[in-house]
Structure 1
Amino acid sequence: MFRRRDYRPWYRIILEVLWPRGGWLRAAQYVQHRMRRLPGTPEQIARGVFAGAVTVFTPFFGLHFVIAALLARAMRGSIFAALLATFIGNPLTYVPIAAISLNLGHFMLGSRPSVGVNDSLFHRFGGASRDLWHNLKAIFTPERAHWGELQIFWDTVVWPWTVGGILPGLITGIICYYLTVPVVRAYQKSRAARLRKKLDKLRKQAEAAE
């Protein structure tokens, strides 16, 4: 019942993740539209957006929804707004996010990438993935587990990205918070005014029919 009627091959799914139908501008407009219609006060929604924006600057891919939801819950913000705000991170923004976070993190830790940021990132991801896959196979085979690339990945990517992503994440989150509050408040007031106008019209029609 709930399956898609149009079958999508795997390459089309990947392409739509990298570039959704209608482009990223249309996707951003849809997220903005959904954000304004969320239930809750403007401050609750804005706190959720703050949580989602901060989460985007962490390197824990695959856990962004979980982290954003937990952070929004701790801040008593809108969890759904936090989930929507994680779409700030997308294939168009992750490269500058990674570059800023890694460079800042290495600077704050007094270290530096062994090679260029982009080269280091993809190379370390590849090495960590190979180690992880090898270690999973080692559970069921006589082979010994390897942790070298995973340790390098933690030292050169995960930890510096985590440290370096805190400041730009907070700055982005604060900006998003103060942009969201007036936009949501204006939309909610406008929507309430339209609803009152519609109810008044229905009331007058009912009185005229009596």
Structure 2
Amino acid sequence: MYWVKKPFRLMIVSLKKLRGHPEVVARGIAVGVFAGCFPFFGLQSVMGIVLASLVRGSKIAAIAGTWISNPLTYVPILFLNFKVGQWLLGIETTSTLQDRDSLESFLALGPELVITLLIGCCVVGAITGVIGYFASFYFLRRLRKSKKNIADRVN
């Protein structure tokens, strides 16, 4: 189970090292998590940095937020995004990728598949981004407050 906990531990250690106002860091994490929900492998960090610039968030925190998608979570996240997109668009779930018997029938799905996936990515990314913002803001405020209390006790 160590390999499951390790990414979360690394993220917490990274958060502790980040400087800046908790709100700025939390905005960076939020847009990073949002970007991490998209299937743009290799471009998620770039997307996170651009979005962090737009919302005046921490660019480093945005990169850390994109770590939500990693080799262990790519498939479940994309599957969830696709299912959410299907649900929102009212597409029947009886037609799956396994039902496709030829390359031509799979390619015919192209635009429908991409639009369904991207709509799901936007919705899931927005929800997880908001959760990431509030969770990281709360965590960082508590962390900084506890550090301040410790410093006050020492002095």
TM-score under structure 2 normalisation? 0.81
How do residues 38-77 of structure 1 correspond to structure 2 at under 5 angstroms?
38-77=18-57
Q: Does 1:164 align with 2:83?
A: no
Equivalent of 2:135 in 149, 165, 179: 179
Gaps of 5+ in 1: 1-21, 128-147, 201-210
Structure 1 letter corresponding to 2:135 = L
Greater C-alpha Rg: 1
For 2:71 and 2:125, the matched residues in 1 are separated by: 17
For residues 49-81 of structure 1, give each alpha carbon's deviation from its aligned partner in whole angstroms, at most 9, with x where no partner exists.
110111122121110000011111111111111
What letter matches 1:33 in structure 2?
A: V
Alignment CA distance shift 1:105-1:26 (3 Å): same
1:34 corresponds in structure 2 to 14
- Per mean C-alpha deviation after superposition, the further-off stretch among 53-62 and 94-103 is 94-103
* Number of residue pairs the alignment of both structures matches: 152
Paired with 2:61 and 2:114, the residues of 1 have a C-alpha distance of: 26
Match of residue 146, structure 2, among 190, 194, 197: 190
Q: Using the alignment, how far apart are the partners of 1:66 and 1:150 within structure 2?
A: 30
Structure (1/2) with the larger helix percentage:
2
Q: For residues 146-203 of structure 1, what are the alpha-carbon distances to aligned partners after superposition, in whole Å with 9 as ceiling and x for unaligned?
A: xx899657414333211111111111111111111121011112223334555x3xxx
The residue number in structure 2 matching 1:80 is: 60
RMSD: 2.8
Q: Counterpart amino acid of 1:57?
A: C
TM-score normalised by structure 1 residue count: 0.62
1:36–1:183 contact (8 Å) kept in structure 2: no
Matches within 5 A, 1:140-151: none
Greater length-normalized contact order (CA 8 Å, ≥ 6 residues apart): 2
Structure 2 matches for 1:94-133, cutoff 5 A?
A: 94-111=74-91, 115-116=95-96, 119=98
> How many Å separate the matches in 1 of 2:109 and 2:42?
17
State the identity %. Answer: 30
Q: Secondary structure at the match of 1:90?
A: coil
SS of residue in 1 equivalent to 2:57: coil
